[in-house]
Structure 1
Amino acid sequence: MTTATPSSPLVTRHDHDGYVTLVLSNPARRNALSAAMMSALQDAFDDIAQNPDIRCVILAADGPVFCAGHDLKEMGGITDCDQHASLFAQCSRLMMRIVTLPQPVIARVRGMATAAGCQLVASCDLAVAARSAKFATPGVNIGLFCSTPMVALSRNIARKHAMRMLLTGDPVPADTAFAMGLVSDVVDDDDLETATDDLAAGIAARSGMTVRLGKQAFYKQIEMPLPDAYAYASDVMTTNMQKHDAREGIGAFVEKRHPTWRHE
């Protein structure tokens, strides 16, 4: 276990074949989303967005807690309204960066993910949770309703499930989070890293162009009325059909061979 110090990064990066793992690396502070931690994550995602050779991202954490949300000590030391507004705006930009990132992001969750940490999981495209993991939006217990985590949470799970989490602050075990739709996979603790790496490698093995196009289309259409969504999705498929990888993939299927992607 490593503890972030002024000379060690808050976020560490590990490059693999076609995908990257970003690790929250401040377990002494329970990987809290301080302003510095959010800046480090934002910079890492902005850098990844510019690299088409990276086709998937895993977001993981050091230590027994995935992410405890905002750094309450930091927040409690702020009295100026504008500084609080700036902190929450920074958090919102980070969450939106994950959604707008060209590459899919998979949360690899071990331990607790609470408040903005739960928001971080909900903002990722996929989430693989260890069976012992738990999720909570406990702001109500300290007089601070989890309003910004609510945005991501309510876009992942049914309203009454979201409201129960928000109104009670009770922790939700991984199996329940899976049933609610907050996480995509639950695996035994010992299998967490392997399962997440396999998932990321599988996505990275697909056409990067197709995955980028599909992720963007998913988030755009889901907010549209049904007729508009179909019209937009039809346009996307038309564009997709003109790409090299679509022609290559269809040709490979017909010819019963493996496709050779150019990611374009």
Structure 2
Amino acid sequence: MPDILLRHDSDHIATLTLNRPDARNALSIGLMQALDDELSAIAEDRTVKVVIIAGNGSAFCAGHDLRELRATPTRAAYEAVFALCSRLMQRIVGLPKPVIARVHGVATAAGCQLVASADLAVAADTARFATPGVDIGLFCSTPMVALTRSVGRKAAMEMLLTGELISAARAAELGLVNRVVAEAELAAATLALAAGIAAKSPLTVAIGKQAFHRQAEMDLASAYEYTSGVMTRNMLARDAEEGIDAFLGKRKPRWTGT
């Protein structure tokens, strides 16, 4: 059996490729567990600064593996699957390194959730997105969590209630993806974005990602109080001193990650 998740590291960028092309990279229990385990390991890997999630074959990810779901139709089995999926999506958000989704083909249901959970997303101009659970009697309730944190409420509700596929251009308008490029340029464009981020201080990026998600759940006054404390602690870091001194001295900074 081929590996259902592939990993390739280069220049501080880890590319994790979903490798179930015959199933359009549907998120089976095994694939979700493999992805969760790999991200957990990457969290402690100081050589990795950015993660790219991609898919092999004709699609990025077609959501949950429905055949697998129906094979064990018990409450306990369903609870375990959705708990694992929820843990995986929270792993992506909580990872102290940016995660970029590289999207081609379709990203539907939990596949769309995977895109929405990523920090950034680059899509081929031919890619399409949907949360079509409503069409099969299974509302995309867990994908809704990530979707409503990426796009506006009415846009999210339209996607959830209609199940209709939207284009990459429309996904960019809604804020679900950051950049849309020609399909032939997708890999290079995503790698260029990742490389630009990998060149930053990994400590500063980790601080910023964590603060971004935490302040987003706070009221305005609490968010400013929290981020003021974050900036104070950040200023005391060696990389902040180095970065500011390098800027003032008109030289390239030398990051240590401390």
Alignment length, in residue pairs?
258
Equivalent pair of 1:135/1:172 in contact (CA under 8 Å): yes
C-alpha distance after superposition, 1:192-223 (max 9, x if no partner): 00000001111111000000000000000000
- Of 108, 131, 135 in structure 1, the residue corresponding to residue 129 of structure 2 is 135
Q: Which amino acid aligns with 1:48?
A: I
- CA-CA distance at 1:77 after TM superposition: 1.3
Q: Aligned residues: percent identity?
A: 56
Alignment of 1:81 with 2:75, yes or no, is: yes
- Of 236, 243, 249 in structure 2, the residue corresponding to residue 249 of structure 1 is 243
- Of 30, 48, 62 in structure 1, the residue corresponding to residue 42 of structure 2 is 48
- DSSP 3-state at the match of 2:112: helix
- Of 84, 109, 120 in structure 1, the residue corresponding to residue 114 of structure 2 is 120
Match of 1:220 in 2: 214
What TM-score does the superposition give when structure 1 sets the normalisation length? 0.97
Match of 1:30 in 2: 24
Match of 1:61 in 2: 55
- CA-CA distance at 1:263 after TM superposition: 1.3
- Of 137, 140, 150 in structure 1, the residue corresponding to residue 144 of structure 2 is 150
Equivalent pair of 1:113/1:135 in contact (CA under 8 Å): yes
CA distance in 1, matches of 2:162, 2:91: 29
Match of 1:231 in 2: 225
CA distance in 1, matches of 2:248, 2:146: 41
List runs of 5+ in structure 2 lacking aligned partners. none
- CA-CA distance at 1:33 after TM superposition: 0.4
State the Cα RMSD in Å.
0.6
CA distance in 1, matches of 2:20, 2:74: 26
- DSSP 3-state at the match of 1:186: strand
Match of 2:66 in 1: 72
CA distance in 2, matches of 1:61, 1:27: 8
- CA-CA distance at 1:262 after TM superposition: 0.6
- CA-CA distance at 1:66 after TM superposition: 0.5
